[in-house]
Amino acid sequence: MKIDPVRFSPAKPSGAASIGAAPAKPVAAPAKPIAEAKPLKQTIVSQDRRRGQRVLLRVRAQIHVALEGNASTLEATTLSVSPRGALVVVKQNLPMETRVVLEHNGTRERVACKVVRSPREMPEGFHTPLEFDSPAPDFWKIAFPPAGWRSEDL
């Protein structure tokens, strides 16, 4: 990266003499920011928009999906769960809006759901957000925190 020097001199009052004035020093152009910081208010608003509590919970599951007309079953592990869905790790990328059936390995219960956002590729696999077609608070066999509860309140 090449930085071009920028020369400028302070404004002189009209009629001021420039005898003996030192030459202007080169100044590097200001660096461009790498990324803009998000305002804190936006982060809080995003948290308040969440419809329910998420709980960090590892559960083995299977995802049943028809990809390109072929039925297949993928191994998955949850990272977090809620009464409305889960964030799962899957070895294969599933496109957004893909319809799937999530099967809980412990209970063999199944629930219809879809991929709601593009998965993020991570070293252990694709972090894939799933949303149930309708809320299923008993699917995970845990008691979720009451609405409005925050860990900061402890």
Whether this model's pTM surpasses 0.75? no
For residue 50, what pLDDT is reported? 53
Q: Where are the alpha helices (DSSP H) in 2-153?
A: 40-49
* Exposed / middle / buried, residue 140 (Cβ in 10 Å: 0-12, 13-18, 19+): buried
Tokens standing for 56? 């960090």
Q: How far apart are CA 76 and CA 102, in angstroms?
A: 9
Q: Residue 139, SS3?
A: coil
For residue 145, what pLDDT is reported? 81
For residue 22, what pLDDT is reported? 56
| 74 closest CA partner among 62, 86, 56 | 62
For residue 47, what pLDDT is reported? 43
Tens of pLDDT, residues 74-125: 999 999 999 999 999 999 999 999 999 999 999 999 999 999 999 999 999 9
How many CB atoms sit inside 10 A of residue 111's CB? 19
Tokens standing for 86? 């889960």
Tens of pLDDT, residues 9-66: 555 555 544 455 555 555 555 555 544 544 444 444 444 445 667 899 999 999 999 9
| 51 closest CA partner among 82, 76, 24, 93 | 82
Q: How far apart are CA 57 and CA 86, in angstroms?
A: 9
C-alpha distances in Å from residue 99, one per residue of 88, 115, 129 = 15, 7, 12
CATH for 53-132 is 2.40.10.220
